[in-house]
Amino acid sequence: MARSHEIFILLWLVNITVSFLYHEDTDSVKQLFQTWKLENGKEYNGIDEEQHRFELFYDNLKNINKLNKMYWGETSFALNKFADMSPSEFQSKILMSNREPPTFENDRYIKGGKGYHLPDSFDWVPKNVVTSVKDQGAAGSCWAFSTIENIEGQWAISGQPLLNLSVEQVVDCDGFEDVPRKNADCGVFGGWPYLAYQYITKAGGLESSRDYRYCSGDTDTKHQENNCLPCPPPGFNSSLCGPAVPYCNMSQSCVAKLDKAKFVKGLKIANWKAIDKVF
Ligand SMILES: *[C@@H]1O[C@H](CO)[C@@H](O)[C@H](O)[C@H]1NC(C)=O
Ligand SMILES: *[C@@H]1O[C@H](CO)[C@@H](O)[C@H](O)[C@H]1NC(C)=O
Ligand SMILES: *[C@@H]1O[C@H](CO)[C@@H](O)[C@H](O)[C@H]1NC(C)=O
């Protein structure tokens, strides 16, 4: 008994050491900024932009330290590739504006109400049914990620081994549309989970992400030959989606890459339901 208690405390101590603080003196931050720029391939137009970006970087670094002190041992914060952006710039360039979810026919909803006793909080992560956090890169593919991660969870909860499924398949292949509601799946220009479920139902399955790798967000201005230039999905409706990219690489299209023989065995989507807003 005593021994397992000791082990527990040891592990816990190891765990909390991931919290750390950056040096805040100007020289250290300047040095760190240079390293960070190299690691993140940042190049600025002239000394004024460089200075401006450095100041934002400094502000963000101090804010990270503040948050690390506030949540010490519970969670940790660190610099990432967005560290030279102001919060408002991050919001306008990276985050999407809120959109009202569509409303569906009544029988599409899982209804809450009496008899449901939901816990105040619930976490699927320690149950090992949630895959790791992914980076969608510079592409409007959040709708495909959220759909795929939901299916990954359902697949694991049903007793199958946890598996990364192919987001790129959905981005490349799903051009489903809902004309009455003026919604469509538009590849890297956005889309809707409820339409993605319809695509996956019709397609008959999904490849794993190992077989059909995510590449839509890959842009490398220095090595453009490595860039992913995905083609619009079959059925892309430019009156709902806007104009398609002017150039795409056909060998990176759905037609070239999709291989139904590689669909994960037994994985099919039969139907989908929406969760009521007032559960
Ligand atoms: C899923 O992919 C990530 C890389 O994006 C990897 O770190 C992780 O181990 C994978 N998970 C599984 C269950 O294969
Ligand atoms: C594309 O969307 C428009 C609505 O904006 C619709 O009228 C049209 O039927 C759609 N085209 C196809 C081929 O589905
Ligand atoms: C098109 O994609 C293929 C496969 O990813 C790649 O080998 C080729 O270099 C790309 N072509 C261009 C012009 O980017």
Domain ranges of the chain: 2-93, 106-275
Residue by residue, pLDDT tens for the chain (279 residues) are 333 344 444 344 444 446 789 999 999 999 999 999 999 989 999 999 999 999 999 999 999 999 999 999 888 899 999 999 999 998 887 777 777 778 899 889 887 777 777 788 999 999 999 999 998 887 889 999 999 999 999 999 999 999 999 999 999 999 999 999 999 999 999 999 999 999 999 999 999 999 999 999 776 555 566 678 889 999 999 999 999 888 888 988 999 999 999 999 999 999 999 887 665
Q: 258: closest CA among 141, 170, 151? A: 170
Assigned architecture for domain 2-93: Orthogonal Bundle (1.10)
The answer to whether the Cα torsion of 11, 14, 18, 19 is positive or negative is positive
pTM, two decimal places: 0.80
Q: How many CA atoms lie within 13 A of 1 on its CB side?
A: 0
- Which of ligand 2's atoms lies nearest the C-alpha of 237? 1
Pocket lined around ligand 1, Cβ cut-off 6 Å: 131-132, 134, 162-164
Pocket lining: 154 vs ligand 3, CB cutoff 6 Å: no
| Fold category of 106-275 in CATH | Cathepsin B; Chain A (3.90.70)
User: In the 8-state DSSP scheme, what is residue 77?
Assistant: -
Ligand 3 midpoint to CA 200 (Å): 27
